[in-house]
Amino acid sequence: MATTTRRADAQRNIAAILTAAAECLSRNPAASTSEIAKAAGVGRVTLYGHFPSRAELVDAVFVQAIATGEETLGQVDLTGEPRAALARLIESSWQLVDQFRSLLIAAEEALPPGRVRELHADPMARVERLLERGRSEGAFRTDLPTSWLVSIMHNVMHGAASDILAGRISSADAAPYITATLLAAYTPPGERVPD
Amino acid sequence: MATTTRRADAQRNIAAILTAAAECLSRNPAASTSEIAKAAGVGRVTLYGHFPSRAELVDAVFVQAIATGEETLGQVDLTGEPRAALARLIESSWQLVDQFRSLLIAAEEALPPGRVRELHADPMARVERLLERGRSEGAFRTDLPTSWLVSIMHNVMHGAASDILAGRISSADAAPYITATLLAAYTPPGERVPD
């Protein structure tokens, strides 16, 4: 019984820490573990018991954000004309990147190089499938590898998140800019860029 | 006389540290200050006397790399047809990013968010001037701000450096991929993407 209670306490603490970390890192990508422990209503020793380093905590929060995002992206209609489907996917993806942009910066700072991208495996696989279909239907260029086209989307979107944090563009402008840029970048050579 | 000697010694040490740091960080973006001090033939105390933190040393090496790059980029012919001029500028810029890609990763890891981009002010201003000319001549799109088009180039190139480090693309493929992508991304809506 005591073990069950301790396990329930631990799960409650982990949930509280993850929720508090998501909130704190969304306000400030440099939020400290002390700040997060305080917001979660737990001691620092408890926090470090569950997440031995700030990086492990940021990683866990990011994994959770990606999982939340996947639920949203799974509902996007990817059927029909590939360019229109891509525009819908970009719009939804961007809303997520925008919502989590402070957390994204925190993750890029705290996690080893490549880890942020590794955690995007599922959303990137979805983009890849749509690009492959669009390529086979002649809507997207085939002179560059699909994996490169997926990288471009990742880099342009995440670059836009930095542009917003630095005050270079507004959050409202970003979605149309990203869509216009990627639809042009994916147009087959010799074809017209969509208006 | 003693002061002059000490100053000359200091300058020699700084030069040796910067050269060693550039070499070490080009082999390994995570190179430590002890490793760099050893390669420079100076003690760690001497290194920290000149560069109080690893970040300050990485920053100084990066500033030097950008200055070297600016000499090369200043020689690129940016006259004539804007798309051809941009292709030449991309080619030269990419050679530099590729040459310094390990250092770039070191800088992105060690320096505060936005600092790497801030240090690119001069190369980015050059891109901006060429894009502005191309826009006024109808070669590049005007429905998106020039500053956004410059950001795209920065993000696509630096993303390619990460793609190479992660083994996703080869160094030889990167330049044509980047050029094809950016020329398409910059094409005015309704116009054909260059072949």
Closest among B97, B93, B103 to B26, alpha carbons compared: B103
Q: Test A155 with B156 for CB contact under 8 angstroms.
A: yes
Q: Does B80 share its domain with B173?
A: yes
Distance (Å, whole) CA A59 – CA A43 = 20
Same domain, residue pair B77 and B163: yes
Contact at CB, B109 and A113, closer than 8 angstroms: yes
Predicted local distance difference test score (pLDDT) of residue A75: 97
- Place A162 in a pLDDT band, splitting at 50, 70 and 90: confident
Assign B74 to helix, strand or coil.
coil
CATH of the domain at A177: 1.10.357.10
Asked if residue A103 and residue A8 are part of one domain, the reply reads no
Contact list in A for residue B192 (CB cut-off 8 A) is 190-193
Q: Average pLDDT for residues B108-119, to the nearest whole number?
A: 89
Q: Is residue A45 located within the same domain as residue A3?
A: yes
**Nearest-angstrom CA–CA distance, B189 and A195:** 5
How far is the C-alpha of B10 from the C-alpha of A182, rounded, in Å?
50
Assess A9–B contact: CB distance below 8 Å, yes or no. Answer: no
Examine the domain organization and report whether B62 and B133 are in the same domain: yes
Q: Which of B131, B140, B164, B181 to substitute to test the interface with A, most A CBs within 10 Å?
A: B181
Query: Does B165 lie in the same domain as B115?
Result: yes
Q: What is the CATH number of the domain that holds B43?
A: 1.10.10
Tell me, yes or no, whether B62 and B31 share the same domain: no
- Mean pLDDT for B51-61 is 97
What pLDDT was estimated at residue A166? 87
Q: What is the pLDDT of residues B28-49, one digit of tens each?
A: 999 999 999 999 999 999 999 9
Residues B28 and B69 grouped into a single domain: no
If you average pLDDT over residues A87-91, what whole number do you get? 96
For residues B50 and B10, is the Cβ–Cβ distance under 8 A? yes
| Interface confidence (ipTM) of the complex | 0.90
**Total count of domains within chain A:** 2
Residue A21 pLDDT > 70: yes
| Distance of residue A157 Cα from the nearest chain B Cα, in angstroms | 9
A124 in the same domain as A178:
yes
Both A37 and A67 in a single domain?
A: no
- pLDDT above 70 covers a percentage of chain B that reads 99
Which residue bears the tokens 């390619």?
Answer: B160
SS3 of residue A192 by DSSP: strand
Over range A54-65, report the average pLDDT: 97
Kindly state whether A192 is in contact with chain B, defined as any CB-CB distance less than 8 angstroms.
yes
pLDDT band at A1 (very low <50, low <70, confident <90, very high): low
- On average, the pLDDT of chain A sits at 95
Domain that holds residue B76: 55-195
Listed residue (B94, B108, B93, B96) closest to B58, CA to CA: B108
Token representation of residue A13: 């603490």
**Same domain assignment for residues B166 and B86:** yes
Residues B126 and B140 in one domain: yes
